[in-house]
Amino acid sequence: MSFLLQQILLEPRLAVQLNNELLNQLLSQARSARLLATLAHQLQNKAVDAQLPATVQRHLQSAILIHEKQKRDLAFDGETIRQVLDSVGERLVLLKGAAYMLAELPAGHGRLITDIDILVPQQRIGAVEKALNESGWNSSYANTYNERYYRNWSHEIPPLTNRKRGTTLDVHHNVLPPTARPNVNACLFFDRLIEIKPGIFTLSWQDMVIHSATHLFHEGEFQHGLRDLWDMDRMLRDFPGRDPLFWEGLVSRARELELQVSLFHGLTYAEQLFGTPLPEGIIEDTGTWATSLRKPVMDFLFSRAFRPDHPQCKLPYTNLALTILYVRSHLLRMPLYLLGPHLARKAWMRLFDDDGGSHQGLKREEL
């Protein structure tokens, strides 16, 4: 069962047939999925945007302007961070949206980001954090429960915010928390980095896809689910052209990183929602008897999670599915004896600290 945004992303020309009410739904779905600039880019690419009403065009154009501004800011902030890391002898390794955008990948076209994610070798975290602190990147979580949580149980340090620019920087030392079941050896990523600009690196094309899938299927909240799946689709269509051996080593690489289950889900749902062309047999290669046994349940859950939070998109039992996925993500992240107290604490904070102790005003994800 497809929905409007999905149809138009894949077949932008259909947009000219939509009436105002459907166009309103389309833009609304795209905004809530954080895909408005991506949609705008797709429409522009096929020269469809000029045929839409002026009232619609101005929103698409505006989204593209926001994307372009983020790209300029990213280039500036990226260079600043590169210099700080360089001062302690580390390379700048970008992850996710920032990587797609600075590497000018199709996944970066119209991509919006809320923060810059980077990967640093675990043993260098202390030195890097100190250097960043001294250059105006500071955490607002000092001495809180959240800080202790990050330090003890997370694969990243508490988010750093640049005092002058307001940019948020997430410094990771791995792609999954140390308590998660797959035991990912993050050192492996550093052997295959790609230099996209002088001194600025991304993961290899294969690792980028595997990381994207891992992030997506270990996340507890799916506001960005569809957007992340779109990233996967764009990468899977683009990378085989950059590296003829892309498909060949993908599955074995995922196995080496112990992330083949995430890759299985990523490939499955990219194909299901966006018709991503995959080589014959690759899904069977990544799956096991256990994953295929669970597939009907996973289909039930993810077919709901990947829909924009919008009345026209919602399937029955969406809330149930989202709750199960939320709990699942935590079970994947930590064993039960750690998880119980953590979720209890979070629930308490949500009930009594109002909005989980976040600050008055704009929420972080909107910045």
Q: Which residues bind other proteins (CB under 8 A)?
A: 19-21, 23-24, 28, 31-32, 53, 55-56, 58-59, 61-62, 65-66, 68-69, 72, 223, 309-311, 351, 354-355, 358-363, 366
Residue 144 vs 291, nearer CB to other proteins? 144
Smallest gap, in angstroms, from Cβ of residue 364 to other proteins? 11
Residue 86 vs 355, nearer CB to other proteins? 355
Residue 236 vs 305, nearer CB to other proteins? 305
Residue 3 vs 205, nearer CB to other proteins? 3
Q: Is 2 helix (H, G, I), strand (E, B) or coil?
A: coil
Smallest gap, in angstroms, from Cβ of residue 33 to other proteins? 10
Q: What is the DSSP letter of 358?
A: P
Length of the chain: 367
Smallest gap, in angstroms, from Cβ of residue 143 to other proteins? 22
CB neighbourhood size of 25 (10 A): 20
- Return the closest-CA partner of residue 125 out of 165, 178, 79, 78: 178
**Pairwise CA distance, residues 180 & 155, whole Å:** 10
Smallest gap, in angstroms, from Cβ of residue 23 to other proteins? 6
Smallest gap, in angstroms, from Cβ of residue 27 to other proteins? 8
| Residues 269 and 229: beta-carbon distance below 8 Å | yes
**Pairwise CA distance, residues 219 & 214, whole Å:** 8
Residue 280 vs 366, nearer CB to other proteins? 366
| Residues 90 and 96: beta-carbon distance below 8 Å | no
| Residues 41 and 345: beta-carbon distance below 8 Å | no
